[in-house]
A and B are shown apart, each in its own frame.
Chain A
Amino acid sequence: MRLSAPSVCVAALCLCTAGAAGATNVTLSGTVINSCVLTITTPGTLAPSTDGTRLGSEETGGVAAVMSVVATGAAPTINFAAPTLSGPSGSEDATTAVRYTSTGGANQAYTSSSSSRTMTGLLDTFTVNGRVTHATGFPAGQYTVTSVATCQQQ
């Protein structure tokens, strides 16, 4: 069967029209809730200073803790509680402090008090250093400096 050019055009137009009449929307929907995910990728370790009066993550052999934050749908605050020290008896009067910086611009100097940082974007990564100072040195044992990092909305 041979079709003339106008017949082909009419057939093509019919196909297109039929396609348009059967068109429908394909909908994919989702909901973003404001949430916060904290991930500590490196727990951090302390090492003694050469003069024996400090334990810190910035001393040779120490490692800073690294924590990433993903905050969707909100700009939460990351609150760092005052650091605490657990260690053998004889270290109770040592001074414990943490400091942190972040890729989002946080820059907190060493402090023994609580501190906070309000997120300005979706992602941020904090590098947290801990330090313990004791003028008379440290009894042998296991030492841990801990600061509770809380992601929350003010």
Chain B
Amino acid sequence: MKRRLVLASLVAQLAAPAAAVGLGPLVKQGLTDGPAKAFYLTLINPYPDARDFRAYPTTLDDQPIDHVEVIPSLVRLGGNKNRKLIVIARDIEPGQTFTFRVCAELQHQPEGTVHARVCSKLSARRIAAVAQ
């Protein structure tokens, strides 16, 4: 019995993927009348067990952005579960369309040839101020 349990555990470890992550929707846009706009994204854990993920904002050409916040940015998520992330873009000027990405990946990427990540493209447009 003990030997079977050890064998089953070994098979489970071999079957677990080396790196995996899911995120959606991949594109989202919205209108705001103020300087901030919030979005919901769904982070997916494809592993059968709990893993730690991180989500972070970038520009379209993969540079860091400081006026976008992802809550929570570090997540421990149960096996085969998903959860919502809140993304808040701030300092949007009147009439501006602000487009950026939010990417999700494992907090600790395993050694290997390919590192996996999924990014959503978000676009917030602030309506222009009306002249009085």
On whether A35 and B113 interact (CB within 8 A), knowing A41-B17, A41-B18, A150-B103, the answer reads: no
Chain A residues, Cβ within 8 Å of B117: 38, 148-151
Contact B113 A147 (CB under 8 A): yes
> What distance in Å separates the Cβ of B4 from its nearest Cβ neighbour in chain A?
25
Contact A37 B25 (CB under 8 A): no
Most chain B Cβ neighbours within 10 Å, of A43, A57, A144, A145: A43
On whether A65 and B42 interact (CB within 8 A), knowing A37-B21, A153-B27, the answer reads: no
Closest to B110 in A: A43
In the complex, number of A-B residue pairs with CB atoms less than 8 Å apart: 117
Closest to A76 in B: B26
Contact with B along A10-46 (1 / 0, CB 8 A): 0000000000000000000000011111111111101
Contact B27 A145 (CB under 8 A): no
Contact B44 A37 (CB under 8 A): yes
> What distance in Å separates the Cβ of B59 from its nearest Cβ neighbour in chain A?
13
On whether A43 and B121 interact (CB within 8 A), knowing A34-B25, A65-B112, the answer reads: no
Query: With an 8 A cutoff between CB atoms, is A94 at the interface?
Result: no
Query: With an 8 A cutoff between CB atoms, is B119 at the interface?
Result: yes
Complex alpha-carbon distance, A67 and B111, angstroms: 14
Chain A residues, Cβ within 8 Å of B35: none
Contact B113 A128 (CB under 8 A): yes
The contact of A40 among B23, B44, B101, B112, by CB within 8 Å, is B112
Q: How many residues of B are counted as interface, with CB atoms below 8 angstroms from the partner's CB atoms?
A: 28
Q: How many residues of A are counted as interface, with CB atoms below 8 angstroms from the partner's CB atoms?
A: 37
Contact A40 B116 (CB under 8 A): yes
Complex alpha-carbon distance, A67 and B118, angstroms: 13
Chain A residues, Cβ within 8 Å of B46: 37, 39
Chain A residues, Cβ within 8 Å of B101: 152
Contact B113 A74 (CB under 8 A): no
CB within 8 Å of A: which B15-50 residues = 17-27, 42, 44, 46
Chain B residues, Cβ within 8 Å of A128: 113-114
On whether A65 and B114 interact (CB within 8 A), knowing A33-B24, A37-B21, A76-B26, the answer reads: yes
10 nearest A-B pairs in the assembled complex, by CB-CB distance? A35-B24, A43-B112, A37-B22, A44-B113, A38-B116, A39-B20, A65-B113, A153-B26, A43-B18, A40-B19
A residues at B contact (CB < 8 Å)? 33-44, 46, 57, 64-65, 67, 70, 72-74, 76, 80, 98, 128-130, 144-153
